[in-house]
Amino acid sequence: HLDRIAAVDGEINAFLHVAGEQALSAAKSVDDAIGSGQAPASALAGVPLALKDVFTTTDMPTTCGSKILDGWVSPYDATLTTKLREAGIPVLGKTNMDEFAMGSSTENSAYGPTRNPWDTTRIPGGSGGGSAAALASNQAPLAIGTDTGGSIRQPAAVTATVGTKPTYGTVSRFGLVACASSLDQGGPCGRSVLDTALLHEVIAGHDPRDSTSVNAPVRPVVEAARHGASGDLKGVRVGVVKELHSESYQPGVIASFDAAVAQLTELGAEVVEVSCPNFLHALAAYYLILPSEVSSNLARFDAMRYGMRVDDGNMSADQVMAATRAAGFGKEVKRRIMIGTYALSSGYYDAYYGSALKVRTLIARDFDKAYESVDVLVSPTSPFTPWKLGEKVNDPLAMYLSDLCTLPTNLAGHCAMSVPSGLSADDGLPVGLQIMAPAMADERLYRVGAAYE
């Protein structure tokens, strides 16, 4: 894999940092342990992985795709990083991402965009475009992403790979640099549903160092993936969300989705249409809640504690802070900090942030009602196949529209997966099928996903 990275990543730009020596030494420890008769640390021991550059690592930099953290090395490992190490999974390096996980194309990275291996003039999705492109170009067999509004699932969809956003609270956020804390969730990415399930079980689990961590056993996702692989979905009730099937989506995406639904029916699933009317307001609510949390979380980058510092020697502390943030943050991050600060300000709080929280509750109720009659919900993962680099960079609203189908799951704290759903008939580019399930029912995603793939 290191050879493959050396050969192709000059063009793809999936990695911000490659840690060849550390990866080889981790691989050697696995070989040595097995050579001396010990059982491997996990089913994935020795299988290398690409880690999104938003999880802290003591032996390589963590930049979050931002200039403000250029070269910064964390004094501690994220819980997820520790779990990878303990499972004997060598980390090949850290992958490119939209700055602080804000974006849908990886073009908001301060280190240049990642290119989609299917067509290098196109975006690999975002914010986790680096992880998805590393998988799709065979630079890594496994990867880690984070999903705050779709950043695992949409990149998976547009690169024809698999990605899961686990139930909120089931993968520790300790050492995951925060974007929007009530939405952020780390998750597994792979090229097959079973690979993804094996990684899911490695990274999930209760962590007392994360106050929102769920104290419950890890869901049996590997068993569910194996069960699903038999291809039998008899007795599984699947709901097609009416509001996530629109004429405004790309025709090839809708055609691929309709074919996927037909295939699920053939596999024995009972498919019905369900209505979740408040999903239509998810985008508006998300783009108030997320910036509000961002404006608060990113206040920690004050030029004193981490990374970059702009100071000509004659500046006051306030001026150093302002100059550093002006130089260190990119355009999209600044836009969201301003929107969030406005939405949280006294006088506007109730009208904007307060209303968005009410919509969030209504979306959770739509889900609850739907899950009274079905086991999983399905939709396209994204309304579009990968677009041309540069096409939407000057139109944030057009960029936000690509998150339409993924946002409701994050707002409700539930789980969802994207699996490849063939190539679009209109442009020959990858399309993803999104499978959604209630909180703490992640195994349903894997059963249906493995049967479908």
Active site residue 213: no
Measured distance CA(256)–CA(254) in Å, rounded: 5
Q: Could you tell me which stretch among 23-31, 71-79, 149-157, 199-207 binds ligand GLN (CB under 6 A)?
A: 149-157
Site string for ligand GLN, 118-137 (x = CB under 6 A): ---------x----------
Alpha helices in 192-241 (DSSP H): 193-203, 221-228
Q: Could you tell me which stretch among 34-42, 144-152, 199-207, 368-376 binds ligand GLN (CB under 6 A)?
A: 144-152
Report the nearest approach of ligand GLN to the CB of residue 422 (Å): 23
Active site residue 151: yes
Contact call for residue 149 and ligand GLN (CB under 6 A): yes
* Residue 103: closest CA among 115, 93, 113: 113
* Cross-strand partners of 164: 417
Torsion, Cα of 25, 29, 31, 33 (10° steps): 170
Q: Could you tell me which stretch among 96-104, 132-140, 200-208, 310-318 binds ligand GLN (CB under 6 A)?
A: 96-104
User: In this chain, which of 147, 293, 366, 453 binds ligand GLN, going by CB under 6 A?
Assistant: 147
The residue with tokens 């793809």 is 12
* Cross-strand partners of 84: none
User: In this chain, which of 101, 189, 276, 429 binds ligand GLN, going by CB under 6 A?
Assistant: 101
How many amino acids of this chain bind ligand GLN (CB under 6 A)?
A: 13
Residues numbered 237 to 296 that lie near ligand GLN (CB under 6 A) are: 290
Please, are residues 98 and 127 in contact by the beta-carbon 8 Å criterion?
yes
Q: Could you tell me which stretch among 99-107, 223-231, 252-260, 380-388 binds ligand GLN (CB under 6 A)?
A: 99-107
CA of 180: how far to CAs of 138, 176, 294, 433, 451, in Å?
31, 11, 6, 25, 33
Q: Which is nearer to ligand GLN, 56 or 104 (CB)?
A: 104
Q: Helices 221-228 & 193-203, crossing angle to 10 degrees?
A: 170
Active site residue 66: no
Q: Catalytic pick from 42, 66, 109, 127?
A: 127
Contact call for residue 403 and ligand GLN (CB under 6 A): yes
Report the nearest approach of ligand GLN to the CB of residue 267 (Å): 30
Q: Catalytic pick from 42, 104, 131, 151?
A: 151
* Residue 332: closest CA among 286, 281, 397: 397
Q: Which is nearer to ligand GLN, 195 or 403 (CB)?
A: 403
Measured distance CA(299)–CA(308) in Å, rounded: 14
Contact call for residue 151 and ligand GLN (CB under 6 A): yes
Residues numbered 174 to 233 that lie near ligand GLN (CB under 6 A) are: 179
How big is the chain by its Cα radius of gyration, in Å?
21
* Cross-strand partners of 388: 122
Tell me which amino acid residue 429 is.
L
* Cross-strand partners of 116: 119
In the complex, the residues that contact ligand GLN under the rule CB under 6 A are 101-104, 127, 147-151, 179, 290, 403
Name the residues annotated as catalytic: 52, 127, 151
